[in-house]
Structure 1
Amino acid sequence: MIRPRHRSSAGSGVPSPAGQVPSDRRIPVERARQHGPRPFRRPTMPYAHTLALTLAIASGSAHAMSDAALADIVGQRLTGDRTGACMAVAVVENGSVARTFQCADPKDVARIGPDTAFEIGSVSKTMTAALLADLIGQGKGSLDDPLSAWLPPGTKLPDYQGKPILLRHIVTHTSGLPSLPTRMGAPDMTDPYAKLDEAVLLASLGDVVLTAAPGTKFEYSNFASMVLSYAVARRAGTDMETLLKQRLFAPLGMQHAYLNAAPADVRAAVGHTPNGRPTSAWHFQTNLAGVGGVRATLDDMVRYVQGELGTETTSISPALQRSQQKVSDAPPMAMNWMLMPVAGRTVHVHEGGTGGFSSFVSFDREKRRGVVILSDTTWNSIGSLGSLGLHLVDASFPLGEPRRDIPADGTLLDALVGEYQLIGGMKMSVRRKGDALEIQPAGQGTYLMGYDSAGDFYPRDFDAVLRPQRGANGHGFIWMQMGAAVPATRIDNATTKPAFAVEPATLREYEGEYPLVPGFGLSVKVQGDALTVQGTGQPALPVQAVERDVFVMEAVGAEIRFERDAGGKVIALALKQAGQTLRGEKQ
């Protein structure tokens, strides 16, 4: 963990586990490789900590959404949320646009408006991809160019057994470059990229040793994307801000989008952590800002989505279309766009996050529909904007509910008390303080924890989550911060509970099919003397009982709770995973 440099009303800090530093939005594939398989999973998409499901969803309504209908949906998810977030949301559909500006607390609505520019984070990468596609269309390069050809002569780059990094590897996050440059040093956690310059970025390339051939392994890399931003600006012969304005923003009518030079009539939104505290903006050197430095209003992003949908033909239209074409299959990606299967169609999706902002952008060219969500609060540690964003993509995705601050059950508090070690070395004490928990990372102060209706504990002083994980022998937790999800192991030699025994006849009562959402359900069967659960299209996994009608799947951090009617017959189950719950009735 890295100790925060300072604490003030302008930003709250906390140590980042295992020496991690903020790396903007990562995606589930990366985490699966770091922390083991998660067989209950959605199609790969650029958000953190999504509920792991594979969904095949139905088509939505043919009618365009109204402002009022959109406001109602956003209000259901946001009003009363303990983050205090404000959001600007738009749905582009059949040539019309529905918009709404809302806050968790309605009294805060003046924080945002049509003139407010938000940090869009990693959605900026899709814009850099469009500029790359534009240069390719001008005959100035190819996706099969080696990265070295776009950098200054003499720049030292890694290869793997003579196989170089190509541009196509950069835009699909298969270059093999790590998440962050090696020579960043210890950044200010409230503005981590501000001091990173071009020379340090390029020098860091020489430190990397590839462990696999480029193109063979997915690893989300802000490092690689910063190099691409620099390379695109260099090949274009201008700086990234000028390039974006001339080749992308101006043709699409994105009049208020910018990197570092804000138009006079734009109001920069103030970012917030998920405990409602203002935090500083993030800054990037201009030619590196294609990784995550674009700021834009809601209407700017509406015009961007309309451009991607081909609503009007402009000078950048051929490049946008080129950037939308599939480049890799594992995971399915275009040029910096994740490709999500939806009822036989393909939806392009990307999400972004900085220290105080989150964003979600998608478009479906076949349905002529797009979604934009801009939040003045970072949702990195609490599952991102995925539930609202996906529900707006198609209503069969569960919307989710606001996270409300509630009291924690005393039994759970007592079960979590103990001494832990996070993977990576950091030790942490968890203690009970009245009706709450407090934590103390080794060598640091104590932090009081809140508890929310999604079942997560969270520090009231900084942005992180302590997510309880129930196992067959007791409780542990996952520590979630700055895009990392780090398991904690109990080291206090506490007495573990014996496994809960269930009679074979009782196990058979649970057998059945439990649809959860369209296209995805759980099949529960007895195999030998164990109960197994199988998600649609995925392998069956054994589950262990922890009490009557309650089972856990420790490998994927899931809990399954069966429901009975008044006569004692099993009628339904609830799957709880990653802070979300889905219920399915027995068929």
Structure 2
Amino acid sequence: MSRLITSLLAALLWGVAAMPALAFAGAAQAASPVVAPASDAEVARWLRFRIERQKLATGGLVAIVRPTGRSLVAHGPIDRRRARRLDGDSVFEIASLSKVFTALLLADRVVRGEARLEDPLAGYVPPGVTVPAFDGAAITLVDLATHTSGLPLRPGNIEGAPDRPNKYAGYSFAQLYAALPTHKLGQAPGTQFRYSNLGVALLGQGLALKAREPFPDLLRRRVTGPLGLVDTQFGEPPEAAARRAQGHDLDLKPIGPSDDGVLAPAGGLRSTPNDLLRLLELFLTGVGPGELRAAARLMMEVDRPGDDANTRMALGWRRTTIHGETYYWSHGSGDGARAFMGFNPARRVGVVAIADAASGAGLDDIARRVLDPQQDVDLNVTPRRRELAVPAAALERVLGTYEYAADDRIQISRRETGLIVTAGASQLLIVPQSPTRFFSKYGGDILFEFPGSGPAPSSTLVLHQDGERFVYRRVP
């Protein structure tokens, strides 16, 4: 896939959380001017602007831990009927932040001598299940935890369309292991970054299978329980219902809670800002219970390819080095929220930032500004494009596959809520602005144009981004 498409599809469906490559394009690694760290007052101003002017959420918060202590900036209520505002005990679906917890569980088992990072996945699946390999090279546990296994984004037998809310609900163990042998690896494990919800789900369920204990119980016994993270769990206990942050979809309409089925190790946790800050303190201070101190150190020592030139994969964390700063981070997109957490060891600063709506960006740039004083914060107000209802024929004529180069193809397919653009492992939802022009619901300066009119299939796709124009030709 071309570099262009890789950067375009930074905001993805299916809970994928890929770093927007354009945010760091051309970044200098030389000595940089001294910039003051972000203050709470600045964070509050940016957060208010993001919600009231840019309208990318109805509420959000940024929680920060510094050597001087904790602080929290919030804007917007959970529920106007209750007049309860977001705070450190608000419960959110944290989507792919769950992957850090799964990786920490792996590291804990490694330091206890119960597993090895190099253990083949084949030893962590039910008897008789075939695990794909590449020219004899086996997928290992560390490959799964660093998104270098070569496995695809999601299982091939998911029944729900990519744009359907709660699309993973009901996905079973039988489906997970039935689909595994059908996947073909296009790369040797450990050599290239390829984001995979499937891989982390297999990791978590494999650890649970080996321990002969359900994954939620194992995670609670080894990780969340010892750390005192009482609000970090799967599902929603009745006593926490009043603190649940209402999620919203891309149009800021309320949306119900989700269930990730057996893919829960990759994205099913709920948590609070206070719990997530406590997790970050384990990595910032090295102080924690039992083997979790050594497990946290082990996670930071792993080094694998990342998804851009400035980023490498640690165990469960991305490690970004830019502007003379190095920080670790993770983020996640769910049906109704966008979450980010990260820490800068040199500055001894950690941050959690959560928006109460699905988004391709959320509050990520504000959180990065806390970790890296030279990170830009997006203060552009882009008028919200209006979706237009078009005849079914206008949608049918654009469906198909288009090619810019031999390694750069885009497929357009029709799903439940709109059209899906697929490029490699990435997917993006687009909707009509006119019968021939479509835009991304995740924002960004991206337009897809299909010249012509009438019922005949469009022969051309013209991709517009940042003032540039790229012409793709239809192929069989």
TM normalised by structure 2 equals: 0.76
CA shift, 1:149, in A, is 0.9
**C-alpha distance in 2, partners of 1:37/1:298?**
30
Q: Which of 189, 199, 208 is the aligned partner of 1:214?
A: 189
* Aligned residue pairs, count: 419
Matches within 5 A, 1:103-502: 103=76, 110=84, 112-186=86-160, 189-262=164-237, 264-265=239-240, 267-285=243-261, 288-310=263-285, 312-315=287-290, 316-331=292-307, 332-380=312-360, 383-401=361-379, 403=381, 405=383, 424=400, 479-480=439-440, 488-492=448-452
Aligned to 1:156, the other structure's residue is in SS state coil
Larger Rg: 1
**C-alpha distance in 1, partners of 2:362/2:432?**
15
Aligned CA distance change for structure 1 residues 84 and 163 (closer, same or farther; 3 Å): closer
Aligned CA distance change for structure 1 residues 370 and 300 (closer, same or farther; 3 Å): same
**C-alpha distance in 2, partners of 1:120/1:102?**
18
Aligned to 2:301, the other structure's residue is in SS state coil
Aligned to 1:370, the other structure's residue is in SS state strand
**C-alpha distance in 1, partners of 2:222/2:143?**
24
Cα RMSD of the aligned pairs, angstroms, is: 3.9
Aligned to 1:303, the other structure's residue is in SS state helix
Is the aligned partner of 1:47 residue 2:23? no
Counterpart residue identity of residue 248, structure 2: H
Aligned to 2:328, the other structure's residue is in SS state strand
CA shift, 1:196, in A, is 0.4
**C-alpha distance in 2, partners of 1:205/1:342?**
37
**C-alpha distance in 2, partners of 1:70/1:484?**
22
1:183 and 1:204 in contact (8 A); partners too: yes
CA shift, 1:156, in A, is 1.3
**C-alpha distance in 2, partners of 1:407/1:35?**
22
**C-alpha distance in 2, partners of 1:312/1:171?**
23
**C-alpha distance in 2, partners of 1:253/1:105?**
24
Aligned CA distance change for structure 1 residues 263 and 127 (closer, same or farther; 3 Å): farther
Structure with bigger helix share is 2
Give a deviation string over 1:271-315, Cα, whole Å, max 9, x none.
Answer: 101322011211023x53110111111111111111121253322
Aligned to 1:251, the other structure's residue is in SS state helix
| Uncovered stretches (5+) of structure 1, i.e. residues with no partner | 1-30, 39-44, 409-417, 427-440, 448-462, 469-475, 495-553, 561-587
| Uncovered stretches (5+) of structure 2, i.e. residues with no partner | 9-16, 387-393, 403-412, 420-427, 455-461, 469-476
Counterpart residue identity of residue 273, structure 2: L
Aligned CA distance change for structure 1 residues 106 and 394 (closer, same or farther; 3 Å): farther
CA shift, 1:330, in A, is 4.3
Aligned to 2:199, the other structure's residue is in SS state helix
2:97 and 2:330 in contact (8 A); partners too: yes
TM normalised by structure 1 equals: 0.63
Aligned CA distance change for structure 1 residues 200 and 212 (closer, same or farther; 3 Å): same
CA shift, 1:407, in A, is 8.6
Aligned to 1:264, the other structure's residue is in SS state helix
Give a deviation string over 1:165-217, Cα, whole Å, max 9, x none.
Answer: 11222122121211111111235811111110111101110111222222233
Aligned-residue identity in percent: 25
CA shift, 1:347, in A, is 0.6
Counterpart residue identity of residue 370, structure 2: L
Aligned CA distance change for structure 1 residues 311 and 176 (closer, same or farther; 3 Å): closer
Give a deviation string over 1:502-534, Cα, whole Å, max 9, x none.
Answer: xxxxxxxxxxxxxxxxxxxxxxxxxxxxxxxxx
1:379 and 1:385 in contact (8 A); partners too: no
The answer to which of 340-349 and 477-486 deviates more is: 477-486
Give a deviation string over 1:40-89, Cα, whole Å, max 9, x none.
Answer: xxxxx8335754523247587677x7654532342243333323421121
**C-alpha distance in 1, partners of 2:284/2:372?**
17
Counterpart residue identity of residue 448, structure 2: A
Aligned CA distance change for structure 1 residues 324 and 60 (closer, same or farther; 3 Å): farther
